[in-house]
Structure 1
Amino acid sequence: MTMVDRPGSANRSVYLLVVPLAVFLLLACTPVAEARAKETGSEHEAVELLTKAAKAANRTAYRGVQEVRAWYGRSGCTQTLRVHHVPGRGTEITAASGTGAGRVTNVPDGLSAATPQLQLLTANYRVVRAGVASIAGRLAEIVDAKSAAGEVRARYWLDRATGLLLRRDVFDEDGRLARRSAFTSIDMRSREAPQEMQVAAGGDRGPSGREISLGRVGELRSAGWTVPKRLADRFDLYDVRSTGHAANTSLHLTYSDGISVLSVFEQRGHLDESHLVGWHTAKVGGRTVYLRDTVPRQLTWAGPGTVFTVVTDAPDRAVGSTVRMLPGAEERPGFWARVARGLARIVSWCNPF
């Protein structure tokens, strides 16, 4: 994991990439628009661009290098990924540096959360066109997602030719940069799938776990599961899955406000702390939890007879609010065993559209 300093506010400057490269290890991006945000089109045009982006991965093959960064307080971490996507096959993601370097994750087609996230994005934020820029040598349309108060909460750079998402910046409630994922290089000519991806494509192509309809959330609560319909300020539940059987059953709950994702794992039992190598305790949302400052961030703690784990790319305040809203207990928290089943979805967040 590489630690980096944290840039400033989105609302003070549109292109944070104009600050010195040595300070923030900035990504390959050369602005060709003005140095301040300016709406250049209607909301309808912005929605059309985002809709095109949501469909782009279904028809565009690409391979490239992507850098993902997250800031926690005044410091943060970065990870470099090699990404290879083939429509109809899926996406192979290799961690080239940072936490888990060398790990290869195959994400089958069918894990995309583009449709519900786009719906939540346009329901919770006002989206507007905000200029053009060059990302990794490709011309990109810029779309801003703004709060009701007009503050930029996310900025998207969408490839003008294909619609692919080339870069995404997420800002916290104070306007500070919280997350960034961007391609530093990308090639859209190769359609050949890696051997591992072809093998994966021949098996289960759907999301991991058994899907449970949102209409059955009431049944889950009656059976003793927590399953909140909403977390933090506006993170709505849009996907529920279960893994394991009987006493080993765990739930994987996915929430989003359209910009960030909260993945919550709820599992019965008391697990072994001895597996928490590389974790540290921290106060989050007024509660002591075990924490890993990775990309994405991981937290775990024990409730009454239940272990909760949160894996998320959301800003700090939303994470704290989530921890407060979920049950906790004074007992010593344990470890979780099934989070790895959701990592394919988590890794794919870097490319939500």
Structure 2
Amino acid sequence: MTSAQTTPFGPSGPFGGRSAWVVGGLAAALLLAWTLAGNAGAGRRADSDPEALELLRETAAAARRTPYEGTQIRTTLTGGGHTRTAVKVAHATDTVTPLHGILVQDASSTTGGAADVTATGGLAGFTPALLALLTRNYTVVQAADDDACGRAAHVVEARRADGGTAGRFRIDAETGIMLHRELLDDGGRVVSALGFSDVRIAEPRTPAVAGASRAAPWAAVGAAEVAGLRGRGWTVPQDLPGGFVLNEVRRSGPADGGTLHLGYSDGLAAVSVFVQRGRLDERRLAGWRRSGAVFHREDSQRWAVWAADGHVYTVVTDAPRAASDTVVAALPQADTGLWGRLRRGVRRIGTWANPWN
């Protein structure tokens, strides 16, 4: 059983209380109690396997201490089939540049500014915070051992409340590093996968080189500043649909004129939301699929870009398309006409009443 959690950016978890209903007659009360007990049992998740959790917990330390070099392949299911990208990687034990995620480019550069950021994910293993989110949203179990890129591997799965597999991890039996990870949709299809196609466990033959400098520096934003940004009209949700929780806020540029990077995770998938004041230059999105006011693109990540309330929003994620669409729909949308202006006014009044949202 999990409990409500608190993050540095605000309260998280279910709110509300139990209400007692008076029903006439003992039989009605017993019937109601039996019905409620049945419903609670049907929705209860099974407990996670401690051995599976320990395997995931050790992946981060293993990634830091284990030297390796090889090729990583990322495969993403898109509307047009599968996209596949490959990258050579190397990690030496005397460097501090192990993989820490996926390098993506901020699509808000369509308005004139460019910035590179590192999104949560990759094969660097689980931090305690990410593991806590994973167990909050999924049941973690150990499956039958398998192999990956010719190496014996332990298999750990993250399962939904209905028993379906949402994520699968292959962990090297010898070193404990993560060799392969998959995200699956509700239908059991692998929608995103990242793993080694070949790997050599040894000090790299070619010394590791630090990554290229980013186009713009990103500064961490604390809880007090987040509250101030919300008060000045910036949208910084604490939670997004699907169990995604805000776990990082960074800023590039001036406080009111730069770009915010909001990092969310459910412990399995990552969502990056970029918010920038200004107007969207739609001419620079030629070739993107348009749905209403939102522009979409799918390659190694799922992208969505649109403008609303004087800001440009960009969502980048490796989550399944259904989850990505739900996240986009939960953020401010372009409202036009009288009813749109009224809806914007209602949202702003709600923000004043509840500064945490």
Secondary structure, counterpart of 2:58 in structure 1: helix
Say whether residues 1:282 and 2:276 are aligned partners.
no
Say whether residues 1:321 and 2:326 are aligned partners.
yes
1:298–1:189 CA distance, 2 compared to 1 (3 A): same
Secondary structure, counterpart of 1:58 in structure 2: helix
Secondary structure, counterpart of 2:300 in structure 1: coil
Say whether residues 1:51 and 2:57 are aligned partners.
yes
Residue identity matched to 1:290:
F
Deviations 1:48-72 (A, max 9, x none): 0001112212111211111111113
CA separation in 1, counterparts of 2:208 and 2:194?
Answer: 26
Corresponding residue pairs, total: 269
Q: Do 1:281 and 1:288's aligned partners in 2 also have CA atoms closer than 8 Å?
A: no
Residue identity matched to 1:326:
L
Name 2:146's counterpart in structure 1: 133
- Of 110, 114, 121, the residue aligned with 2:126 is 114
Say whether residues 1:83 and 2:95 are aligned partners.
no
1:106–1:164 CA distance, 2 compared to 1 (3 A): farther
Deviations 1:111-158 (A, max 9, x none): 968312222112211111101112111111000101122111101000
Deviations 1:232-285 (A, max 9, x none): 2201100000111155311000001111000000000114223224x41333xx
1:179–1:195 CA distance, 2 compared to 1 (3 A): closer
Residue identity matched to 1:90:
T
Say whether residues 1:66 and 2:54 are aligned partners.
no
Shift of 1:86: 3.0
Map 1:201-216 onto structure 2 (within 5 A).
Answer: 209-214=218-223, 216=225
Name 2:8's counterpart in structure 1: none
Secondary structure, counterpart of 2:183 in structure 1: strand
1:189–1:125 CA distance, 2 compared to 1 (3 A): same
Shift of 1:162: 1.3
Deviations 1:168-220 (A, max 9, x none): 111112322211112110012124664642x86xx89xx95111124543222
Map 1:176-191 onto structure 2 (within 5 A).
Answer: 176-191=189-204
Shift of 1:166: 0.6
1:42–1:319 CA distance, 2 compared to 1 (3 A): closer
Map 1:249-288 onto structure 2 (within 5 A).
Answer: 249-277=258-286, 279-283=287-291, 287-288=292-293
CA separation in 1, counterparts of 2:151 and 2:217?
Answer: 34
- Segments of 5+ residues of structure 2 without an aligned counterpart are 1-46, 103-115, 337-357
Name 2:313's counterpart in structure 1: 308
1:137–1:56 CA distance, 2 compared to 1 (3 A): same
Name 1:296's counterpart in structure 2: 301
1:106–1:189 CA distance, 2 compared to 1 (3 A): farther
Secondary structure, counterpart of 1:76 in structure 2: strand
Q: Do 1:209 and 1:242's aligned partners in 2 also have CA atoms closer than 8 Å?
A: yes
Map 1:12-27 onto structure 2 (within 5 A).
Answer: none
| Larger radius of gyration between Structure 1 and Structure 2 | 2
CA separation in 2, counterparts of 1:245 and 1:42?
Answer: 44
Q: Do 1:62 and 1:86's aligned partners in 2 also have CA atoms closer than 8 Å?
A: yes
Residue identity matched to 2:289:
T
Say whether residues 1:158 and 2:171 are aligned partners.
yes
1:259–1:194 CA distance, 2 compared to 1 (3 A): same
Q: Do 1:86 and 1:191's aligned partners in 2 also have CA atoms closer than 8 Å?
A: yes
Name 2:348's counterpart in structure 1: none
TM-score, normalising length from structure 1?
Answer: 0.69
CA separation in 2, counterparts of 1:124 and 1:74?
Answer: 30
CA separation in 1, counterparts of 2:87 and 2:170?
Answer: 18
Deviations 1:278-305 (A, max 9, x none): x41333xxx4422221112222110110
Shift of 1:314: 0.6
CA separation in 2, counterparts of 1:299 and 1:194?
Answer: 37
TM-score, normalising length from structure 2?
Answer: 0.68
Name 1:149's counterpart in structure 2: 162
CA separation in 1, counterparts of 2:157 and 2:327?
Answer: 25
Identity, in percent, stands at: 36
Say whether residues 1:237 and 2:273 are aligned partners.
no
Deviations 1:66-85 (A, max 9, x none): 11111134723111121222
Secondary structure, counterpart of 1:46 in structure 2: helix
- Segments of 5+ residues of structure 1 without an aligned counterpart are 1-40, 96-104, 332-353
CA separation in 1, counterparts of 2:293 and 2:280?
Answer: 17
